């Protein structure tokens, strides 16, 4: 913690994966609660901080409370250095190769980032606390860990992972439990079901659908290629879910929590909802493409978040219908901007979401 002018302490948080969907919402949430927020950013040849644009400020300015550090969850020395520099009271480990389909193509890297990356951070935190620092850690677990386990899934449901990503998240979960028990560290595993937003990466199915259908509506593309339309997911709004992460770290004791809406929909139901917002018949435009199928699929996720409701007082605020609507409206606006630019003779880069 650092001193404020009035003698009160400013809490410090460190977020790995701050440039992602959740990291950006969490950073905004923590800044709004007065935290100094530190984030780890990967070096890239193009800007990867787009989601932070609204809160980024020149670090030379006085009183800036967002600080970015270059690093990588696969680089233990840099993680330790960042802990020393940021001196956090709370750490949120969100960094991950988070795409399930891609984890079949990049299995070793996914395990290095998701499983061993968490272990690296836990080792660094172990030494950081041994040096006298008090710190609390949130580990981003996933409903993918339940995989083939029958719904509804809660904290007592046995894991049955179905991808390299999910198996790596299970390993990370148990590393976190072990470090909590072995070294008495304050660590919480959040087992979050799917959560989406207008900031969702464009290769995840919800955003691929809202981007694709909005562009089809305005005549910017003809077809949308998708994989398995029967899979069912429990989809919530990401902004609601980052608050649950924070709540876990404010409790008297560390524990593990499922965060979910308790409502499940198929991919085709998502298509129905998005199409009705746009006045489209998706069946005329959507084509199935086997390249988007997974070698092993997760068919049915539906979370039971009773424990989070009771102990954290957490409940989702945004319904499935509201979520789809807000994503469609956002992507329709993007498609309108694209139309305006195209009509004015500009070349608009195709981001190739339909290729992934």
Residues that bind ligand GDD (CB under 6 A): 98, 100-101, 142-144, 193-194, 203-205, 208, 226-228, 231, 233, 267, 292, 294, 297-298, 301
* 195 contacts ligand NAP (rule: CB under 6 A): yes
Q: Rounded CA gap, 153 and 159, in Å?
A: 9
Q: Rounded CA gap, 302 and 162, in Å?
A: 16
Q: Which of residues 196-215 bind ligand NAP (CB under 6 A)?
A: 201
- Strand, helix or coil for residue 190: strand
| Contact status, residue 83 vs residue 125, Cβ threshold 8 Å | yes
Q: Is 144 a catalytic residue?
A: yes
* 100 contacts ligand NAP (rule: CB under 6 A): no
Distances (CA, A) of 62 to 30, 57, 65, 66: 19, 10, 9, 11
Q: Which of residues 116-175 bind ligand NAP (CB under 6 A)?
A: 140, 142
Q: Which of residues 286-345 bind ligand NAP (CB under 6 A)?
A: none
The one-character DSSP state at 73 is T
Write down the least CB distance from residue 96 to ligand NAP, Å: 3
Which of 35, 128, 165, 179 is an active site residue?
165
| Contact status, residue 220 vs residue 335, Cβ threshold 8 Å | yes
Residue 267 interacts, among ligand GDD, ligand NAP, none and using kind-specific CB cut-offs from 5 to 8 Å, with ligand GDD
Which of 28, 36, 144, 198 is an active site residue?
144
| Contact status, residue 187 vs residue 139, Cβ threshold 8 Å | yes
Q: Is 142 a catalytic residue?
A: yes
Reading the block at residue 311, the tokens are: 């102990």
| Contact status, residue 249 vs residue 135, Cβ threshold 8 Å | no
Residue 72 interacts, among ligand GDD, ligand NAP, none and using kind-specific CB cut-offs from 5 to 8 Å, with ligand NAP
Name residue, tokens 């984890």.
103
Q: Rounded CA gap, 177 and 67, in Å?
A: 29
* 192 contacts ligand NAP (rule: CB under 6 A): yes
Query: How many helices, marked H, and strands, marked E, lie in the chain?
Result: 11, 15
Longest pairwise C-alpha distance within the chain: 63
C-beta of 82 vs 143, nearer to ligand GDD? 143
C-beta of 170 vs 298, nearer to ligand GDD? 298
In DSSP terms, which residues pair with 140 in a beta bridge?
A: 190
Which of 142, 168, 264, 275 is an active site residue?
142
Q: Which of 332, 195, 204, 221 is nearest to 277 (CA)?
A: 332
Q: Identify the residue among 19, 118, 189, 221 touching ligand NAP (CB under 6 A).
A: 19
Q: Identify the residue among 194, 221, 264, 275 touching ligand NAP (CB under 6 A).
A: 194
Q: Identify the residue among 11, 42, 133, 356 touching ligand NAP (CB under 6 A).
A: 42
C-beta of 44 vs 344, nearer to ligand NAP? 44
C-beta of 48 vs 337, nearer to ligand NAP? 48
C-beta of 82 vs 203, nearer to ligand GDD? 203
Per DSSP bridges, beta strands 36-41 and 66-70 are parallel
Residues carrying an active site annotation: 142, 144, 165
Contact footprint for ligand NAP (CB under 6 A): 16-17, 19-23, 40, 42, 44, 48, 72-74, 94-98, 113, 140, 142, 192, 194-195, 201
């Amino acid at each position: 913690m650092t001193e404020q002018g009035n003698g009160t302490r400013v809490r410090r948080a460190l977020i790995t994966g701050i440039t992602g969907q959740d990291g950006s919402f969490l950073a905004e949430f923590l800044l709004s609660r007065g935290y100094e927020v530190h984030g780890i950013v990967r070096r890239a040849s193009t800007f990867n901080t787009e989601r932070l644009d609204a809160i980024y400020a020149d670090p030379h300015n006085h009183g800036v409370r967002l600080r970015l550090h270059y690093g990588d969850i696969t680089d233990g020395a840099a993680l330790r250095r960042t802990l020393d520099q940021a001196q956090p009271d709370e750490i949120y480990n969100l960094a991950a190769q988070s795409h399930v389909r891609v984890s079949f193509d990049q299995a070793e890297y996914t395990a290095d980032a998701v499983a061993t990356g968490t272990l690296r951070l836990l080792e660094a935190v172990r030494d950081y606390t041994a040096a006298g620092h008090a710190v609390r850690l949130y580990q981003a677990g996933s409903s993918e860990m339940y995989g083939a386990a029958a719904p509804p899934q809660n904290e007592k449901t046995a894991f049955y992972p179905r991808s390299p990503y999910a198996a790596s998240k299970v390993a990370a979960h148990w590393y976190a439990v072990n470090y909590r028990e072995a070294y008495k560290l304050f660590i919480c595993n959040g087992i979050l079901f799917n959560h989406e937003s207008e900031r969702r990466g464009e290769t995840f199915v919800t955003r691929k659908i809202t981007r694709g259908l909005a562009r089809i509506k305005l005549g910017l593309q003809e077809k949308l290629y998708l994989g398995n339309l029967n899979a069912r997911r429990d989809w919530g709004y990401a902004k609601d879910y980052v608050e649950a992460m924070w709540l876990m770290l404010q409790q008297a004791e560390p524990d593990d929590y499922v965060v979910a809406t308790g409502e499940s929909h198929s991919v085709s139901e998502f298509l129905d909802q998005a199409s009705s917002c746009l006045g489209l018949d998706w069946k005329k435009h959507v084509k199935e493409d086997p390249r988007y199928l997974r070698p092993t699929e997760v068919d049915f996720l539906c979370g039971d978040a009773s424990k989070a409701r009771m102990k954290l007082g957490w409940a989702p605020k945004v319904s499935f219908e509201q979520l789809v609507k807000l994503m469609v409206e956002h992507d329709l606006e993007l498609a309108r901007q694209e139309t305006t630019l195209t009509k004015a003779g500009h070349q608009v880069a195709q981001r190739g979401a339909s290729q992934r």
